[in-house]
Structure 1
Amino acid sequence: MSKRNSAKYKLDRRMGENIFGRPKSPVNKREYGPGQHGQRRKGKVSDFGIQLRAKQKLKGYYGDVTEKQFKRTFTEASRMKGDASQNLIGLLERRLDMVVYRAKFAPTIWSARQMVNHGHIRVNGRKCNIASARVNVGDEITLGSKAREMALVMEAQGLAERDIPEYVAPDGNAKVTFTRVPTLDEVPYPVKMEPNLVVEFYSR
């Protein structure tokens, strides 16, 4: 399974932040942007630029979902009752690939998506290979029998850089239950996310 390190770390350097909290991120050594002019690119950013950056950062964190998918999720969040920015985070955290990542079944969001696509994940005992499938409160997500022996899964479960959040309750090493839709302050982002700016970006 590919880990797509280059694209992931390129996003880190473009944003100047360690988006995924990974110890090998190049931002830990140099905080300027990529390319030969990276150090000189420090002009004043407009309001639009700040909103765009917030959108790119959030979208990138969730494995660079397509713009069409991301905008569709925002539209759905804005139609729901309550705070649109909180709704957006709740919908993104309910993606199956994200729950697999939060459960520490995979070391990165990209490998989590690949595990789902390859049919290694069960939702309430039934195989689901759609990464964007939405998990409901009370759903049980389990690893398939083959996946339990994979080196990738063992690597993920041994990672010290992140913990399983409270809204994903583990039952042994191969099963978790999605207990509730989280709020922004419950989601363990390694960097500050600003979904309110994403709402402003799409509401222009």
Structure 2
Amino acid sequence: MARMTGPRLKIMRALGVELPGLSRKSIENRPNPPGQHGQQASRRRRSDFAVKLMEKQKIRFNYGVSEKQMRRLILEARKGSEPTGDKLMSLLERRLDNVVFRAGFAPTGIAARQLVNHGHVLLNGKPVNIASVRLQVGDVVTVKEKSRKIPMVVEALATPSLTVPEWLSVEAVSATAKIGHLPSIEDVPFAIDMQQVVEFYSNRV
């Protein structure tokens, strides 16, 4: 996905949900959509298409994936017997940048992506700089020893954005996380109607 440089809080207000992977800020004090007529817009009934689009956009912005990546993930999620929506979210949660974020090594998914891209992370003891790498059960992610002194990493470890999910085991001192088992849709840290997302792509891929 192109580097996210726009107003993240405005995006969350437009979607009506806090996306921890996008920003640590809260929309609690300004829950209405942005713009002059935001309060009226929040009371207006959305079309079926608008609802499906918003649910899909929640995923894209939280995980920082492009539309092209989403389509590829949907095609992959359709394979097998597992419900498409459940498998899609498992695939997204297991992205390396998201694991770095969920382990508490970075304040947001965007910051975690930057850590990975700049070579601060090891996967199973080897350097890796591809944020979209998908992890498997037993994989170990570590922030390099020198990189643990980066102020952003220090702050994230001291005040994590989210509780570490049950499928991850984390050792904060060594900044190490291990995948214990595959995540489920219940582990997604924001409200999402996956059926709407699946229906959005039903005739598009």
Structure 2's unaligned 5+ residue stretches are: none
Distance between the aligned counterparts of 1:156 and 1:5, measured in 2? 21
Letter in 1 for 2:48: D
Moved more, 176-185 or 122-131: 176-185
Deviations 1:17-64 (A, max 9, x none): 222296632x2112111122322324321222111111011211113x
- List runs of 5+ in structure 1 lacking aligned partners: none
Determine whether 1:95 maps to 2:89.
Answer: no
- Matched residues in 1 for 2:132 and 2:39: separation? 37
Task: State the identity as a percent.
Answer: 40
Q: Judge conservation of contact 1:169–1:178 (CA < 8 Å) in 2.
A: yes
1:144 maps to 2:144: yes
Aligned partners of 2:24 and 2:107 also within 8 Å: no
Number of residue pairs aligned between Structure 1 and Structure 2: 198
Q: Distance in 2 between matches of 1:119 and 1:160?
A: 21
- Specify the code of the residue in structure 1 equivalent to 2:148: R
Determine whether 1:45 maps to 2:75.
no
Q: Which residue of 2 aligns with 1:122?
A: 122
Larger deviation, residues 37-46 vs 175-184: 37-46
- Report the more deviating stretch, 108-117 or 76-85: 76-85
Alpha-carbon distance in structure 2 between the residues aligned to 1:55 and 1:4: 17
Q: CA deviation at 1:91?
A: 0.4
Partner of 1:201: 200
Question: After superposition, what is the alpha-carbon deviation per residue over 1:83-139, rounded to whole angstroms, capped at 9, x for unaligned?
Answer: 111100110011000000011010011000000000000000000100001111100
Q: Distance in 1 between matches of 2:77 and 2:31?
A: 33
Give the residue type in structure 1 aligned to 2:53.
L
Query: Which range is displaced more, 113-122 or 52-61?
Result: 52-61
SS in 1 for 2:44: coil
Name the residue aligned to 2:76.
Answer: 76
Query: How high is the TM-score relative to the length of structure 1?
Result: 0.89
RMSD: 2.0
Seen in structure 2, the aligned counterparts of structure 1 residues 196 and 45 have a Cα distance that, compared at 3 Å, is same
Amino acid at match of 2:82: G
Rounded Cα–Cα distance in structure 2 between residues aligned with 1:80 and 1:87: 9
Alpha-carbon separation, structure 1, partners of 2:98 and 2:115 = 11
SS in structure 1 opposite 2:9?
helix
